[in-house]
Structure 1
Amino acid sequence: MANSDAAPLIVLVAGEASGDNLGAQLITALRQRIPQARFAGIAGSRMVAAGCEAWERMENLSVMGLFEILPHLPKLLRIRRQLIDRVLAERPAVYVGVDAKEFNLRIAPRFKEAGIPTVQYVSPQVWAWRQGRVHTIGRAVDLVLCLLPFEKPFYDSHSVHAEFVGHPLADVVPMELSAATARYQLALPEKGQYVAVLPGSRQGEVSRLSPDFTQTMAWLVRERPQLRFIAALASEPARRIFEEALERATIGTPALLDRVTLINGHAQTVMAASDVVLLASGTATLEATLVKRPMVVAYRLGMLTSFLLKHLKLFKAPFFSQPNLLAGRELVPEFFNAEVRADVLGPAVLQQLDRADRDELVQNFATIHETLRRDASARAADAIVDLLVKRRLSV
């Protein structure tokens, strides 16, 4: 095993906030098993705080969509070239792609061919998008670490080495979260009904969803003037985008502005303080599931990306939100592109707010939580160490 005798180098590459969280927890777990290890790669603030040397900042990989990536292509190609050269020169003990699948799986074959063990932490949604890619993934990496239970059987059926480790988020989110406590933490009045609004973490996503989300909030205020809203914004740029959309939405509904509280970050607390969540599709839908709040999920892509998905039928899964995928049926409503508008989202939010089977929904969420709660970071670290031990014994 390269670099194994003194201070083995472990390279990790993350591309967005959720990957930064996963990477930081994985570094902590790996350090417990390999205390002398060094960590480096493309990292966010949490990975850096956990001890990862940032060869490049994670934010430079945060691009969403097939065509939305084009303006950033020169920068991404430069980062890719420099990373390949450095990894091949330093020959780490293992290369771990932490999510950022489009980036990591394109370069992992170079490292695998060079004899560097390669791991993909977080499976691509290959079971949903172009299932034939599973063979490409098998050729690209030595191990896929799956966060969702149905992913490992899919890989097993195609003879690709994969392990289900559970989801780290399920390990850290309590089984029960009090709305009253969350409201106290956010300095909100305890009484009243709250709608949490989370328009996403990527700027492009926030730009696409904020107009419809704020118009939905205006629609809801007109229908139920007593409703309050808490918006969790992932960054200052996201907050500015959302504030501009909110200002436009209040032109016809000035009462809205007095009903909205904007919060920087603290997404989990904002969800816990709410009675229902309106949010962008993605990891946040899993977090809302673990917090056990009813939700309405929206997914909007750029025009060219959407055209390809529709006409080439690239998406194979019956759902795109995490609770529905994990349950194998529709637990919560989800809306895509043209359906993402106030006259659709508003009634859906009210239906979730008033649903008579709320207790049954919460129990379904609890079952999902228990399934995913596996001490994921420890299991992922164990699987990586096991891969390295087997690799060392085979050479």
Structure 2
Amino acid sequence: MAGQSATSPLSLALVAGEPSGDMLAARLLSGLRPHLPGARFHGIGGEQMMAQGFESHWPMDKLTVRGVLEVIPRYREIKGIQNQLRDQLLAERPAAFIGADYPGFNLGLEEQLKAAGIPTIHYIGPQIWAWRGGRIKKIIRAVSHMLVVFPFEEEIYRKAGVPVSYVGHPLAELIPLATDEAGARRTLGLPEQANVVTIMPGSRMSEIKYNTVAFISAARLLKQRDHSLRFVVPMAGARQRQYFLELVAQAGLQDVELTLLDGQSHTAIAAADAVLVASGTASLEVALFKKPMVIAYKMMALEWQILRHFGYQPWIGLPNILAREFLVPELLQDAANPQALAEAMWQQLTDAPHRLRLAQRFSDMHHSLLRNSAQESAAAVLKVIQA
């Protein structure tokens, strides 16, 4: 096997830079463990990876940033970590390096490792089909094998000459095909007949900063239309919860009755009649739970002016991208104002034929993404390191 001596245990290096990558890599590790029981898995990862016996040399949150403008003040620190890890891996020469998403960090590291003869695997193809298509040139230099989670991506990478495997989307396995809405409401202490709106402003601090006031202001307007509505807000952690509450108080929105949850995002989605969700992986989770939604996103004005010109297609929400049409509304930046959000959410709550159509489309989507991703991704990695 590449990069291993006859006496040293097999070593695989991995890096995840945020919770979604931690989940992906943990699934991969669960598939690899039975085949490589004595292997050492190490690098940078989160709690889910460490639960699989992974050794993280730095806390994952050292890398967790969002957007160009958030990276700039921390660039030297993050670049320093990348360089230290690169030097360690060049000295050690693991059997392979696996980058779990986080392309800004991982592709640069992969390019240097691949040039030194270390096989590199990237898990989740960067969305070159959505924006920054020129990145394919760097991917060709950096990646020995790409693992993709959407079926249409295989052809894109194959045409570019990048070895690729479609392994299914882990969320399609984690989320049941049938949603137990009544059970989720019992778990959260909500009446089974309640009208429930779940609000998901994002897990990153910057997302909470820009989305919270508009999202909760929309909830206040919805409550004025229907006093029976219940609002559930899952929080990714204690820091996010505290910041969210500070923003709500500063905006004078304390009168909006909210049920805040520590985690439990899937239970909150399952319990909902409709979901107001920040664009990102969470919108795919909502689709897999077969729930109507409004996708919204706000960011720093300067960053919006930069990014709004880079898109290749009219959709930003994953459910709409997969469907190749606007199945659900997308409201971005200035369009994501309280009045527009409330009106769009009201339509999702009250249009019964639309809700039935969505449930069927999302069910088809779920089946198309369903594979045993742990086994499929592990099999692809084993082929690379055994080559």
Task: Give the structure-2-normalised TM-score.
Answer: 0.96
User: Are residues 1:325 and 2:321 paired?
Assistant: yes
1:202 is matched with: 204
Q: Which one of the candidate residues 57, 74, 78 is aligned to 1:76?
A: 78
Cα distance between partner residues in 2 of 1:302 and 1:4? 50
Q: Which amino acid aligns with 2:341?
A: L
Q: 1:60-75 to 2 correspondence within 5 Å? A: 60-75=62-77
Equivalent residues in 2 for 1:223-234, closer than 5 Å? 223-234=225-236
SS at match of 2:327: coil
Residues 215-224 or 95-104, more deviating? 215-224
Secondary structure in structure 2 of the residue aligned to 1:33: coil
**Alignment check: 8 A CA contact 1:68 1:302 kept:** no
Relative distance call for 1:250 and 1:189 in structure 2 (3 A) is farther
Q: What do the CA deviations read for 1:178-208 (whole angstroms, capped 9, x no partner)?
A: 1110011112222210000111111111111
Query: Would you say 1:336 and 2:338 are equivalent positions?
Result: no
Post-superposition Cα deviations, 1:97-149, rounded to whole Å, max 9, x if no partner, equal 00111110111111001111001101111111121221210111101100111
Which residue type is aligned with residue 332 of structure 1? V
Contact 1:294-1:332 within 8 A present in 2 as well: yes
Aligned to 2:312, the other structure's residue is in SS state coil
Tell me the distance in 2 between the aligned counterparts of 1:248 and 1:4. Answer: 60
2:264 aligned to 239, 263, 266, which one? 266
**5 Å matches for 1:86-235?**
86-235=88-237
Q: Give 1:218 deviation, angstroms.
A: 1.1
Number of the residue aligned with 1:347? 343
Unaligned runs of 5+ in 2: none
1:74 deviates by 2.1
Which deviations, in whole Å up to 9, do the C-alpha atoms of 1:52-96 show, x marking residues without a partner? 101111111111111121121121122111111111111111100
The one-letter amino acid of 1:323's match is P
- Cα shift readout 1:142-164 (whole Å, capped 9, x = no counterpart): 01100111111111222221111
**C-alpha displacement of 1:304:** 2.3
Q: How many residues align?
A: 384
The answer for unaligned runs of 5 or more in structure 1 is 391-395
Aligned to 2:4: 3
Q: 1:4 to 1:226 in 2, by over 3 A?
A: farther
Give yes or no for contact 2:27–2:373 (8 Å, CA) kept in 1: no
Q: What's the CA shift string for 1:331-382, capped at 9, x where partnerless? A: 1111111111101100010000112221221010011100000111211110
2:27 aligned partner, one-letter code: Q
Alignment match, 1:393? none
Give the drift of 1:248: 4.1
How far the C-alpha of 1:306 sits from its partner, in A, is: 1.2
1:365 aligns with 2:362: yes
1:304 maps onto 2:305 in alignment? no
In structure 1, distance between residues paired with 2:302 and 2:75: 17
Q: Secondary structure at the match of 1:67?
A: helix
Match of 1:385 in 2: 382
Residue in structure 2 matched with residue 49 of structure 1 by the alignment? 51
Residues 245 and 214 from structure 1, CA distance in 2 versus in 1: closer, same or farther, beyond 3 angstroms? Answer: farther
Q: Distance in 2 between matches of 1:193 and 1:171?
A: 28
Contact 2:299/2:333 (8 A) holds in 1: yes
From 312, 319, 335, the counterpart of 1:316: 312
Cα distance between partner residues in 2 of 1:71 and 1:323: 33
CA deviation string 1:314-347 (max 9, x = no partner)? 1112211111011111111111111111011000
What letter matches 2:3 in structure 1?
A
8 Å contact kept, 1:292–1:366: yes
Would you say the 8 A contact 1:4–1:93 is kept in 2?
Answer: no
The 8 Å contact of residues 210 and 241 in structure 1, kept in 2 or not, is answered as no
Q: Distance in 2 between matches of 1:276 and 1:65?
A: 28
Q: Which residue of 1 aligns with 2:41?
A: 39
Change (3 A) 1:151 1:191: same
Q: Which moved more, 1:293-302 or 1:139-148?
A: 293-302
Conserved in 1, the CA contact under 8 Å of 2:143 and 2:162? no
User: What is the TM-score normalised by the length of structure 1?
Assistant: 0.94
Q: Give the counterpart of 2:24 among 22, 25, 41.
A: 22
How far the C-alpha of 1:249 sits from its partner, in A, is 4.8
CA drift at 1:4? 6.2
Q: What corresponds to 1:238 in structure 2?
A: 240
